[in-house]
Structure 1
Amino acid sequence: MLDYLQQLSYWNWLALGTLLLILEVFGAGGYLLWVGLAAASVGVLTFIFPELPWAWQYILFGLLSILTAVFWWRRQRSAAKPSDQPGLNQRGSELQGRQFILHEAIVDGRGKIKAGDSLWLVSGPDLPAGSQVRVIGQNGVILRVEACS
């Protein structure tokens, strides 16, 4: 086995790179992409420099793997921008601060409001149906409300 690892040709590196890139397609989440590109790069370097010692091939593979991963990690962090819609995909967050009329009375701390075409469960002080309430928070799918003055 050690003999095989000391006699790697550019085909072996290209095959490893291709295998890693194929595995990446099946959902590795980006982890194998950079290692696969590093293996392919070592394959190209080995093709250009066929007398490259096996130890240098492994060193280049390791360095290129780390460098490409760190480069991409830094690029992703610098490109991340805060969303202009922080409440996106958080149903109910757009209702906070708005006023509604109780659809069903709040009894024992539970009731319902109608917001648009949806009924929402609410929690708050006991109030009769038809009362004006303001949404002050959210606990999962239950909105917290208070009576409007």
Structure 2
Amino acid sequence: MWAFLQNLSFWDWLAVGTLLLILEVFGAGGYLLWIGMAAAAVGVLTFLLPGMSWEVQFLLFGLFSIATALYWWRRQRSAVRQSDEPNLNLRGQELIGRTFVVHEAIVDGRGKIKVADGVWMARGPDAAPGSRVRVTGQQGAILLVEPTE
């Protein structure tokens, strides 16, 4: 083992880097990409400075791995932006405040309203079919409505 460590060459680092990059292809989510890049960087430095001891090589690999992981982490955090449409894909939330037609009468607080090409269950005051109601909230898949004036 000591003989292997003392004779570590740039080929070993490039092989480790390549192996990590191949493993990244199988879906590691970006983690192995940066560690593989760190191993490749140590391989390049070992090629340029062939007399580097194995301790320094491992120290550089650790430092490069931490540096590239921090770079990736900061880049991911800066990529998160607030949406100009926070209710996108929250269909019930998108409907609050809009007015729709009662599809099936709301009786005893339950009925259905027509929303675009679909029908949603609704809860609110009694209303006849064809009357207009405004969505005021949502409880799961049920829209809370009130009559419009």
Give the TM-score normalised by structure 2: 0.88
- After the TM superposition, which parts of structure 1 deviate over 4 Å for at least 4 consecutive aligned residues? none
Q: Per-residue deviation at 1:41?
A: 0.4
Count of aligned pairs between the two proteins: 149
Q: Per-residue deviation at 1:37?
A: 0.4
1:142 is the counterpart of 2:142 = yes
Q: Structure 2 vs 1, CA of residues 135 and 62 (structure 1 numbering), >3 Å: closer, same or farther? A: same
Q: What percentage of aligned pairs have identical amino acids?
A: 65
2:78 maps to what in 1?
Answer: 78
Q: Structure 2 vs 1, CA of residues 31 and 108 (structure 1 numbering), >3 Å: closer, same or farther? A: farther
Q: Per-residue deviation at 1:2?
A: 4.3
Moved more, 24-33 or 127-136: 127-136
Gaps of 5+ in 1: none
Give the TM-score normalised by structure 1: 0.88
Task: Give the letter aligned to residue 62 of structure 1.
Answer: G
2:131 maps to what in 1?
Answer: 131
Cα distance in 1 for partners of 2:86, 2:129 equals 32
Gaps of 5+ in 2: none
Q: Per-residue deviation at 1:73?
A: 1.6
Task: Give the letter aligned to residue 63 of structure 2.
Answer: L
Aligned-residue Cα RMSD (Å) equals: 1.8
- State the secondary structure of the residue aligned to 1:92: helix
Task: Give the letter aligned to residue 20 of structure 1.
Answer: L
Cα distance in 2 for partners of 1:113, 1:16 equals 61
Moved more, 137-146 or 62-71: 137-146
- State the secondary structure of the residue aligned to 1:93: helix
Q: What pairs up with 1:22-101 in 2 under 5 angstroms?
A: 22-101=22-101
